[in-house]
Amino acid sequence: MLKIEVCLSPQLIHLFELKGKIVVVTDILRATSCMTTGIASGVAKIKPVATLDECRALKKDGYYTAAERNGEKVEGFDIGNSPYSYMEERFSGKKIATTTTNGTLAITKSTDADEVIIGSFLNLSTVANYLINKGKDIIIHCAGWKGNYSLEDTLFAGALVEKLESGFELGDDASFSALTSYKSAKNNLLETILGSSHAKRLEKHNIRKDIELCCTIDKYNTLPYLKAGVLIKK
C-alpha cells in the first residue's frame, strides 16, 4: 500500500528517504500560502532562495523580489510575505524571487525527491487530488519555525492526511498525530491557529487578515510545482 509520512521540521528531513517520493512542502504562515496565491493569481514563476543576497541578486534577471525575516518585510525588497501582495496586478505574468525565514529552506532541502509541490489550506483539495492520481509515496514536509515544530503546518499535514487516508497507509507516528490534531481542531481552525505561537509572534505585525486568508480551505485549485528550482503552475 502507498505510504504517507509527515516530517515535522526541516531539521528532521535527513531522516527520511526522499527518492521515489513526492514531497509536499507546507509553511502555512505564510510562505506556501503566498506561493499558492501568487501562482493562482497569474504570477508566472516564483523562485525560492535561501538567502537575502541570492534574492537581491535575481533583480538583474528580471525578478521582482520578496523577502521576509522574523515575520517582517525586509527593507529594499519589493514585497514581504503577505499573500495579498502576491495578488497585485503588476506581478501578473512576471517572476518573483522569494526568501523567507522557514518555507524556502524546507523547499531547498526537499529537492532529492522525485517531485516537490506546494501545499496550503488554500489549495488543499487540489494537492490531495494530484497525489491520489499520481499514486506515489508521499512526505509532507512542515517548514516549522526556525527549525522547531509548528502547529499550523502540522494541522495542514493532518488535513491532507485526512483527505488521503483511505488510499494511503499512515507510515509514521507523526502522520497519525497530525491527523488527530487536525480532527480536534478542524471545527475551530482559525481560532486554533490564532492561538499558535507563530500567530502570536505575528500579532504585533497586525496581519490578522493574512492569517484569515491562510486558513481558507480550497480558495484556489492551483498547484505550484517545483521545476529546475522554480515554482510554476502544474
Footprint (CB under 8 A) of a second copy, residues 182-201: 183-185, 195-198
Q: What is the C-alpha to C-alpha distance for residues 89 and 140, in angstroms, rounded to an integer?
A: 31
**Does residue 70 interact with a second copy by CB under 8 A?**
no
> What are the start-end ranges of the H helices in the chain?
31-40, 52-57, 103-108, 124-134, 151-164, 173-185, 189-194, 197-203, 208-214
Cell 492569517 sits at which residue? 211
Question: Binders of a second copy: how many residues, by CB under 8 A?
Answer: 28
Choosing from 150, 164, 202, 210, the residue that interacts with a second copy (CB under 8 A) is 150
Residue (of 218, 131, 115, 141) closest to 167 by Cα position = 131
Q: What is the C-alpha to C-alpha distance for residues 168 and 170, in angstroms, rounded to an integer?
A: 6
CB 200, min distance to a second copy, A: 10
Using the contact rule CB under 8 A, the part of the chain among 25-33, 89-97, 115-123, 139-147 near a second copy is 139-147
How many Cα atoms sit within 13 Å of 72 on the Cβ side? 6
- When the beta carbons of 85 and 196 are compared against a second copy, the nearer one is 196
Using the contact rule CB under 8 A, the part of the chain among 9-17, 67-75, 80-88, 106-114 near a second copy is 9-17
The region that residue 97 occupies, defined by phi over 0 for left and psi between -120 and 50 for alpha, beta otherwise, is beta
User: In sequence order, what are the residues at sequence separation of 6 or more whose Cβ sits closer than 8 angstroms to the Cβ of residue 23?
Assistant: 110, 113, 115, 116, 117, 138, 139, 140, 141
Query: Within a 10 A sphere around the Cβ of 45, how many other Cβ atoms?
Result: 18
- When the beta carbons of 59 and 183 are compared against a second copy, the nearer one is 183
**Does residue 151 interact with a second copy by CB under 8 A?**
yes
Q: Are 152 and 196 in contact (CB under 8 A)?
A: yes
Choosing from 181, 190, 194, 216, the residue that interacts with a second copy (CB under 8 A) is 181
Footprint (CB under 8 A) of a second copy, residues 156-175: 171-174
CB 145, min distance to a second copy, A: 8
**Does residue 110 interact with a second copy by CB under 8 A?**
no
CB 151, min distance to a second copy, A: 4
- When the beta carbons of 125 and 181 are compared against a second copy, the nearer one is 181
Q: Which positions lie near a second copy, rule CB under 8 A?
A: 8-9, 11-12, 15, 145-151, 154, 171-174, 176-177, 180-181, 183-185, 195-198
